[in-house]
Structure formats: C-alpha cells, structure tokens
Amino acid sequence: MRARNGWMMLAGVMALAMVACSKSGNADTPRALTEYDFAADPTLSLQPGQVGVTFLEAVDAGATGLPDTRIPGLDIIPFEVTEETRYSYTLDDANGSVTHAVIATGDAEAVLLDLTPASPTGSVVLKPGWYALLLVSGNTVEQNQGETSTTVFLQPVSPSIALQSDAALRLAGVAPHFSQAEVNILLSKGSCPKCDLTNAKLTGAYLSSAKLLLANLAGADLTKANLSYATLRHATLIGATLTTANLFWADMYGADLTKAILTGADLTEAKLPSANLTGANLTGANLVSADLTGAVLTKANLSGAILFLADLTGATWTDGRICAQGSIGVCN
C-alpha cells in the first residue's frame, strides 16, 4: 500500500475505502490474493497495489470447511506498507455487513484504528512494515439472504474518487445497468455463464480458470486481466480491450473478438477454433502453439505477433484467403 495508493473493499453495496493521502495514483492492478491464499501460506501479505479478496462469513455461519484466516465472522488480511505516510479510511456499510474494520499492528495485538458504522472515518500514520486488517461481520446468514459469507474486494483506488457516493459501484467495474450480483459471482466463484458484462471495467482482474460461456463482455476493459485457463466459449468480446492480458491456454472456441484490442496479449496455446477476430489488433501478441483452425482473421493486425507452431488450418487470413491444411505458423 504505497503512499500514492489505497484500497477499496467492495461487497455488494458495502465499501470500506482505504485511501492514502497524496497527489498521484497508480492505475496498475496486479493479480489478486484471496483469503484462501493467506490461509494456505501465513507468510503472505498483500503488497502495494495488489488486489485482495476475502469471504467474510456471517456471525452464525459455523464451520464452512473452507480455508479461513480466522474464525466465522472474523477475517484478517495482512498487508505491507512501504512508505511512511498518513492513511485515511472511510467505512460505507449500507447493509450492515461489517461492524468493525480494524487496522492493527502485524501481530494483530495493538489496535491503531477502529472504524464502525457509528464512527466510519479515521486516519493513521503507518510506518513501513506489516499490518493487519481485521473485518468483523455484523450479519447473520438470514440477513445475507441465505449466503454464509459476503465477498469483500480490496483494490487500488484513487483518493479523488474514493469518497464519492457511487465509488463502490463504479470501482467494482459495474455500470448502473449491470447486475452487481453477477460481478460478485464472477469474482468470488469464478463462474458466470451468460453474464451480461457489457463495457465492464475489470482491469487487472484475476479470473484464471473462470467459466464465462456465452458471456457478453462486449467493450469490456480487461487490460492486464489474468484469464489463463479461462473458458470463454462463444463469449462476445466485440471491441473488448485485452491489452497485455494473460490468456494462456484460454478456451475461446467460437468467441466473437471482432475489433478486440489484444496488443501484447499472451495467447500461448490458446484455443481459438472458429473464433471471429475480424479487425482485431493483435500487435505483438504471443500466439505460440495457439489453435486458430477455422478462425476468421480478416483485416486483423498481426504486426509483430508471434505465430510459431500456431495451427492456422482453415483459417481466413488477413487478406481473405483460406489457409491450407497443415498451415503451421504461417498461412499457406
């Protein structure tokens, strides 16, 4: 958590904004670490700029059988501070999911800041080192509409927009007409078939192995997203931005990537049979061993793209000709 960055924790309409007071921000969002990662490796801590996800159980959830960072109703996320500065925090918890959001020393013994619905704002000077964020649940399973936990997201947020009333909605990558429930399902469970996420902003999202069959991601911003091993069969990605996205071994059979921006994307061994890449920008993309059989590449920009061992059998090439059987790495 650098001096120029903070985190936004999102859970439905609940948001805990943790904002460093400074002049600039960094838009990069590295991959996520989830509660399960921290439970599996107690030495991990959330590094500056990383995305964190925790699953805050209801107070009466009981044992879930899943990896947990503490006990039902209490989660602890360790994080690291690299620069000394004053950090400001705001708890905006409309649905009462959180009764306490506590900043504590690394051993979680000394409380430095305690935010509650009655006292939702505060600031504290943090020196370089390791700290703990403690979240205490205030909801029962019934209040969670039958769900045993609430998904809470922590992601970098600009101080200039963190305290706006709609910050939680916009920073979750959801425009007002989107279903927040669908985004929560996608990010927490990694599965959301047929979801309508048109124009969603999911920059840097960690969606490795996600299931998005028939999903509508037209115009979505998936810059630097990790979609390795993801299933995107017949997904609509028209005009989507996938710049430097990780699509290693992604299954995009029949996906519509018309005019998609895939500059610098890693499509190593990606499955793209019958995919529509008409007018797509694949400048500098890595397509080593990619399966492009029957794919449409009409007017696609392949400048600097690496097609070593890529199977182009039956593909429609950029100039409209059909690649012959056995076209490997080059359209014959």
> Residue 181: its pLDDT value, please?
63
CA angle 225, 50, 157 (to 5 degrees): 90
* pTM, to two decimals: 0.49
- pLDDT tens, position by position, 290-312: 999 999 999 999 999 999 999 99
What is the dihedral angle through the alpha carbons of 243, 244, 250, 251, rounded to the nearest 10 degrees? 20
Cβ-contact 204, 223 below 8 angstroms: yes
CA–CA separation, 191 and 17 (whole Å): 26
Buried b (16+ CB within 10 A) or exposed e, 178-200: bebebbbbbbbebebeebebbbb
Please, how many CA atoms are within 13 Å of residue 205, restricted to the half-sphere of its CB? 23
Rounded Cα distance between 113 and 101, Å, is: 8
* Largest distance between two CA atoms of the chain: 70
- Residue 18 has a pLDDT of 36
pLDDT at 42: 80
**C-alpha gyration radius of the chain:** 22
Report the CATH fold assignment for 175-332. Answer: Pectate Lyase C-like (2.160.20)
Tell me, what's the pLDDT at 280?
A: 98
Each residue's pLDDT, cut to its tens digit, for the chain (332 residues) gives 222 233 333 332 233 333 332 222 333 333 567 777 788 888 888 777 666 677 778 778 777 666 777 777 788 888 888 888 777 777 665 556 777 878 888 766 688 888 787 887 777 888 888 888 887 877 788 877 777 777 666 654 433 222 222 222 222 332 333 455 666 667 666 777 778 888 877 888 888 888 888 888 999 889 998 898 889 999 999 999 999 999 999 999 999 999 999 999 999 989 999 999 999 999 999 999 999 999 999 999 999 999 999 999 999 999 999 999 999 999 99
What is the predicted pLDDT for the residue at 10?
A: 32
First-last CA distance in the chain: 52
pLDDT of residue 95: 58
Domain with CATH 2.160.20.80 in the chain: 175-332
